Amino acid sequence: MFKTFDGHICTLSQIEPGSLDNKIIKKRYLSETNVEMIINAPLIANSAKPGQFIVICNNEKGERIPLTISETDKEAGTIGIIFQMVGRSTIELGAMKEGDVIMSLAGPLGMPSEIENFGNCVVIGGGVGTAIAYPVARALKNAGNNVKVIIGARTESLFILVDEMKAFADEVILTTDDGSCGIHGVVTDPLKELLEKGNVDRVVCIGPLPMMKAVSEFTKPYGVKTIASLDPIMIDGTGMCGGCRVTVDGKTKFACVDGPEFDAHLVDWDGLKTRKSFYREYEAKQKEMAIKEAK
């Protein structure tokens, strides 16, 4: 049962084509390149859990891109996404306005985050990955954990969701590469302190690949279970194409159905990095095209 955008309560057998449009309800810039969108998606809002993602294809010639769900509102029938405009598809998506309809949006995909009372959790968000860390951190808090949040950014203006995290987290620690805000350094600096104190039961880290790899290497000697949310190249996102293969513990896993979260200590980070960078030249060309078109 769900509410359509015009306020009708509807059952699955009553849906008419057109009653489920992916209309952008709200759009705001969290920083110069990070955009938040609240989108009408009542069915997904009903079933999405923290850690899951959607796949968007925003025009006839577009590609299918996975984006993590940053929030859900069952009552309003909406979901939120936060993304960085880094390539053709995210630039095109970012150019869409409130009231526009996204051509295709499907989800929720992937396995939900493992949420239990683990004890003391440290949730680390890097860059736009903070948007993915946010619902996971909040769910961990709601499950009774002590949740410390570390957010890293290049510089102060790139921080997102700091106030939102502060609203529930037991502690929020900020780090910047340039020292413009919080600790002058990287996320592993405050993490080290917390690990040294010895009362960390679980680490969840979501951010750029080099950051997640660094965190993983950092926590390994301490024997603290560390979860990373991976974002390999993906196409269908439903477990059909196998494009999102990652090697975990020497075995091939499919991030879209087995993940996207995996035990960071078992992930073949270098293999993932090469797979992710395979299309770099093509992506750069596509981005240029998108920037030109946007102008």
Partner 1 sequence: MAVKDQVSMPQQDPKVRIKNFDEVALGYTEEMALEEASRCMNCKAMPCVKSCPVSVNIPKFISLIKEKAYIDALNVIKENNALPAVCGRVCPQEKQCQSTCLFSKMGKPIAIGRLERFVADYEINQGIKSQVDKPKDSSLSKYKVAVVGSGPSGITVAATLATMGYSVTIFEALHKTGGVLRYGIPEFRLPRNILDRELEYVKSLGVKIFTDIIVGRTFQVKDLFEEGFSAVYVASGAGTPKMLGIPGENLSGVFSGNEWLTRVNLMRAYKDEYATPLPVSKKTVVVGAGNTAMDCTRTALRSGAEEVTIVYRRGRAEMPARAEEIENAEEEGVKFNFLVNPAEFLGDEKGVLRAVKCEKMELGEPDASGRRRPVGTGEYFEIEADCAIVALGQNPNPLIRTTTEGLKTESWGGIIIDEETGMTSIPGIFAGGDAVTGEATVISAMGAGKLAAKGIDKYIREK
Interface positions with partner 1 (CB under 8 A): 1, 11-17, 20, 43-44, 46-47, 57, 61-64, 88-89, 103-109, 235-236, 238-243, 245-247, 252, 254, 257, 268, 270-271, 273-275, 277-279, 282-283, 286
Of 232, 229, 234, whose CA–CA distance to 264 is shortest? 229
d(CA 115, CA 138): 10
Work out how close the CB of 37 gets to partner 1 at its nearest, in angstroms, rounded to a whole number.
Answer: 17
In this complex, which beta carbon is closest to partner 1, that of residue 27 or of residue 275?
275
Work out how close the CB of 214 gets to partner 1 at its nearest, in angstroms, rounded to a whole number.
Answer: 19
DSSP state of 113: P
Coil, strand or helix at 83: strand
In this complex, which beta carbon is closest to partner 1, that of residue 78 or of residue 120?
78
Cβ atoms within 10 Å, residue 269 = 18
d(CA 138, CA 165): 8
Coil, strand or helix at 20: coil
Helix (H) or strand (E) holding 24: strand 22-29
Q: Which residues contact 259 (CB under 8 A, 6 or more apart)?
A: 110, 111, 229, 230, 244, 246, 253
Coil, strand or helix at 137: helix
Work out how close the CB of 79 gets to partner 1 at its nearest, in angstroms, rounded to a whole number.
Answer: 12
Work out how close the CB of 249 gets to partner 1 at its nearest, in angstroms, rounded to a whole number.
Answer: 13
Helix (H) or strand (E) holding 75: none
Work out how close the CB of 258 gets to partner 1 at its nearest, in angstroms, rounded to a whole number.
Answer: 9
In this complex, which beta carbon is closest to partner 1, that of residue 31 or of residue 104?
104
In this complex, which beta carbon is closest to partner 1, that of residue 76 or of residue 241?
241
In this complex, which beta carbon is closest to partner 1, that of residue 61 or of residue 97?
61
In this complex, which beta carbon is closest to partner 1, that of residue 146 or of residue 216?
216
Work out how close the CB of 64 gets to partner 1 at its nearest, in angstroms, rounded to a whole number.
Answer: 7
